Chains A and B, each alone.
Chain A
């Protein structure tokens, strides 16, 4: 394990610190609450000459992603950040970044999509991009935000992946709260991320290429099939990269985190900062002799289908908590994907969905306790209502 210095940083500052050490070539920036601090903090590094990054202040998020695509196509290492409707505004270019196989890394401070306008945390913004072809990793706390930013660069640039990555953290909850974060030495980060070598950078005039051309119906499907292969290759690429980082930080990261779940009868599946709250409740319940457990999904895209299935298969009842609604679907995105992972198992747990925390609605120990209490009630009872709303006034 290498030398690390503990600093008191907000989640936004933790990401900006990682970006400073990575020293990307180009950072297109447009502000939006609650990610503005990431770009703000990084802008100060640029002004103070601590990085060589070309920071481009653009006129909208659509332009930010467009600039990112252009720079990445030219051969630059590109990073940026956004949230909520900013991410929604870049939507069409987000798809293009992925289909053009550009290793852009973007931090997203998860914030509810309008309307009504809401600046607080939920996962609707990144969930709306789950089909885009970007990888998505959800960070529970500031330490994970820092470490994941480093991992994301290596994962995006891996020769078998070559896809953009969203590093997600809960808006305000993680982005604006100060925690003690272990920061590596600049040299260790520089050595870990290495240099980016694109195969056909536009700036290489010896090998002129056409970037972003048209496909007819005779080749689009083949390009998409290729893209599927790329994102699935991340399943093999990630563990090796995580192991390499673990050797220098002492912190391990997997696709999921299993917290007291191996022998658990009642499991909550959840993502991001709310997992922290839930772990406390799991501890309390375990102290009372209740076999409670937690499965936290870190890498949501590609979805850890087999890992999640294995982690929950022996439980009696599993509550899957979604911090977003997928209107018109029966249950949120996590509910449906986790259910799919256990569909073919002969023996499987009962599953029940809780939609929670929309628009920054508080999720606390009391609500987490309520979930565990309710699912224990289903041990000998059939689940009649698949979808519940946790913390809403009705």
Chain B
């Protein structure tokens, strides 16, 4: 648990003075369903990568590599748009 700062320790006026620190807030914590991809069925059409609103489908060498679970919120759009339905939304609890 991150220790919370008191009113004397935070920048005035609600400013965030560290650039780009949104990356420290792991929104993946909010997930209740997790996308799990069956690599054997995947045709590498890149639809999931294109539609992901959080840019969490990470390609490598021209192929889908992995999902960034630090920021995947489990919205399920990837599973919805996959033309071969190789992505299954599983309960996050199974992975905790």
- Interface of A toward B, CB cutoff 8 Å: 99-102, 162, 199-200, 207-213, 215, 218-219, 221-223, 225-226, 229-230
Contacting residues, chain A, for B16 (C-beta < 8 A): 209-210, 213
Inter-subunit contact A101/B10 (CB<8 Å) = no
Chain A residue nearest in CB terms to B6: A222
Contacting residues, chain A, for B8 (C-beta < 8 A): 226
Is B12 an interface residue when CB atoms closer than 8 A count as contact?
yes
Shortest Cβ distance from A128 into chain B, in angstroms?
23
Inter-subunit contact A209/B15 (CB<8 Å) = yes
Q: How far is the CA of A209 from the CA of B4 in the complex (A)?
A: 21
Q: Kindly identify which residue among A99, A207, A208, A225 contacts B14, using a CB–CB cutoff of 8 Å.
A: A99
- Name 20 extra pairs, CB < 8 A, besides A199-B12, A213-B14: A99-B14, A100-B14, A162-B12, A200-B11, A200-B17, A209-B15, A209-B17, A209-B19, A211-B15, A213-B16, A215-B14, A219-B4, A222-B5, A222-B6, A222-B7, A222-B10, A223-B7, A223-B13, A226-B7, A226-B10
Inter-subunit contact A208/B19 (CB<8 Å) = yes
Contacting residues, chain B, for A200 (C-beta < 8 A): 11, 15, 17
Cβ proximity bits B1-36 to A, threshold 8 Å, 1 near / 0 not: 000111110111111110100000000000000000
Interface centre among A200, A208, A210, A211, by most chain B C-beta atoms within 10 angstroms, is A210
Shortest Cβ distance from B7 into chain A, in angstroms?
4
Inter-subunit contact A207/B17 (CB<8 Å) = yes
**B residues 36-94 with Cβ under 8 Å of A?**
none
Contacting residues, chain B, for A162 (C-beta < 8 A): 12-13
Q: How far is the CA of A211 from the CA of B15 in the complex (A)?
A: 5
Q: How far is the CA of A230 from the CA of B16 in the complex (A)?
A: 19
Q: What's the tally of chain B residues with a CB closer than 8 Å to chain A?
A: 14
Chain B residue nearest in CB terms to A100: B13
Contacting residues, chain A, for B5 (C-beta < 8 A): 222
Shortest Cβ distance from A163 into chain B, in angstroms?
10
Interface centre among A212, A219, A222, A225, by most chain B C-beta atoms within 10 angstroms, is A222
Q: How far is the CA of A222 from the CA of B13 in the complex (A)?
A: 10
Q: Is the interface of B mostly helix, strand, loop or mixed?
A: loop
Inter-subunit contact B13/A99 (CB<8 Å) = yes
Chain A residue nearest in CB terms to B13: A101
Q: Which 3 A-B pairs have the closest CB atoms?
A: A101-B13, A210-B16, A222-B7
Chain A residue nearest in CB terms to B19: A208
Chain B residue nearest in CB terms to A224: B7
Shortest Cβ distance from B76 into chain A, in angstroms?
25
Q: How far is the CA of A230 from the CA of B12 in the complex (A)?
A: 10
Inter-subunit contact A212/B12 (CB<8 Å) = no
Shortest Cβ distance from A303 into chain B, in angstroms?
22
Q: How far is the CA of A229 from the CA of B14 in the complex (A)?
A: 14
What are 26 A-to-B residue pairs whose CB atoms are below 8 Å?
Answer: A99-B13, A100-B13, A100-B14, A101-B13, A162-B12, A162-B13, A199-B12, A200-B17, A208-B19, A209-B16, A209-B19, A210-B15, A210-B16, A211-B15, A213-B14, A213-B16, A218-B4, A222-B5, A222-B6, A222-B10, A223-B7, A223-B10, A225-B7, A226-B7, A226-B8, A226-B10
Q: How far is the CA of A223 from the CA of B6 in the complex (A)?
A: 9
Contacting residues, chain A, for B10 (C-beta < 8 A): 219, 222-223, 226
Q: How far is the CA of A226 from the CA of B8 in the complex (A)?
A: 7
Q: How far is the CA of A104 from the CA of B19 in the complex (A)?
A: 26
Contacting residues, chain B, for A210 (C-beta < 8 A): 15-16, 19
Contacting residues, chain B, for A199 (C-beta < 8 A): 12
Chain B residue nearest in CB terms to A230: B12
Inter-subunit contact A223/B19 (CB<8 Å) = no
Q: How far is the CA of A98 from the CA of B43 in the complex (A)?
A: 55
Chain B residue nearest in CB terms to A222: B7
Contacting residues, chain A, for B13 (C-beta < 8 A): 99-102, 162, 223
Shortest Cβ distance from A215 into chain B, in angstroms?
6
Q: How far is the CA of A213 from the CA of B18 in the complex (A)?
A: 13
Q: How far is the CA of A226 from the CA of B17 in the complex (A)?
A: 16
Q: How far is the CA of A225 from the CA of B10 in the complex (A)?
A: 11
Contacting residues, chain B, for A208 (C-beta < 8 A): 19
Shortest Cβ distance from A133 into chain B, in angstroms?
11
Contacting residues, chain B, for A102 (C-beta < 8 A): 13
